[in-house]
Structures are given as structure tokens and as C-alpha cells.
Amino acid sequence: MASSKKAAKAQSAAQDAWESPYVQRLMQDEELRDNLKVALESARSAYGRLSNGKAPTKVLVDDKRFQKDVKKAGEALSAAGTALREGPKRQRKGGVGKLLLLGIVGGAVALAVSEDLRNKALDALFGKEEEFDYTSTTTAPPPTATAGTTTS
């Protein structure tokens, strides 16, 4: 009996943990997971440099790699904490940019398909095309004889 109560209590605690907004955010936000991973790796590296046998004060003061790892871990933890406090990022749907892109693509397709629309657009951009018939006022000269041909 006691073990079934403990199991039910553990199951309830696990269910509550999964429903936590922090756990949900951690499961959904890849950037948050990456920040936590970078923080953990940098902290491990810094700890490894601190416990490598040298005097801790010497490592703290002189070891640039240790200082870089500590700084990187702190920045990643700060970013992760900020992300958790802000809550889930909202993804905007649509927007002016998408509408503008859709209009440009639709206009390009319409111009490519319709010759009348294409002519109207060209007339609007460059003015009406003047149509005229060309008639020559000169007559063509008679053909001249070339060196290889004879005339009779």
C-alpha cells in the first residue's frame, strides 16, 4: 500500500512538473536550450581549469581562458534567465512585409501573363508609343555590276 501511495505521489509531482510554464518554455524554445547548453559547457570548462592543480588564485588572476569561460557562462545564463522571465515568444502572423511581397509577386505574374496589362504599364512608364508609317522619299539605286559578273 505504501509503495502505491508513493508512486501516485511521484506521478502527480511529475505531471505537475510537465505542466509548469518553465518546463513548457524549455521544451519549446530551442534558443533557450542552446543558451543553457553553452552555459553548462563553459562552466565545466572553467571548473576544469580551476581544478587542474594550479593555485586557484593564480588561475583566477592569470588564466585568460578561465576568465573567458566564466564570462561566456555568465552571459549565456543571463540570456536564459531573461528568456524564462519574458515568457514564450509570440510569432507574428502575416504582416506588412508579407502583404507587400505578395502584391509584388502577383503584379509580376499579371504583367507576365497579360499583354494588354503589359502595354498599359509600358505606356504609363514611358508614354504612349507613336505609331507612324515610314515611306521612303528616295529610290533605290540600280544594282551595280561586280567584277565577277557580266551583264548582257
**Per-residue pLDDT in tens (0 to 9) along the chain, 152 residues:** 567 888 888 888 888 877 777 788 888 888 888 998 999 999 999 889 888 888 888 888 888 998 999 999 999 989 888 888 876 555 566 677 788 888 888 888 887 888 888 788 878 888 777 776 777 788 877 777 776 665 55
Residue with cell 507574428: 92
Computed from CA positions of residues 19, 74, 82, 36, in that sequence, does the dihedral angle turn out positive or negative?
Answer: negative
Q: Pick from 15, 27, 19: which is nearest to 84 by CA?
A: 27
Instruction: Tell me the DSSP string of 2-48.
Output: HHHHHHHHHHHHHHHHHTSHHHHHHHH-HHHHHHHHHHHHHHHHHHH
Q: Pick from 38, 36, 30: which is nearest to 68 by CA?
A: 38
pLDDT tens-digit readout, 12-56: 888 887 777 778 888 888 888 899 899 999 999 988 988 888 888
Identify whether the C-beta of residue 68 lies closer than 8 Å to the C-beta of residue 116: no
Task: State the first-to-last Cα distance of the chain, in angstroms, to the nearest integer.
Answer: 130
pTM for the predicted model, two decimal places: 0.48
Identify whether the C-beta of residue 61 lies closer than 8 Å to the C-beta of residue 27: no
What pLDDT is stored for residue 102 in this prediction?
Answer: 83
Going by the DSSP 8-state scheme, the letter that residue 147 receives in this structure is T
Rounded to 5 degrees, φ, ψ at 130 are -80, 125
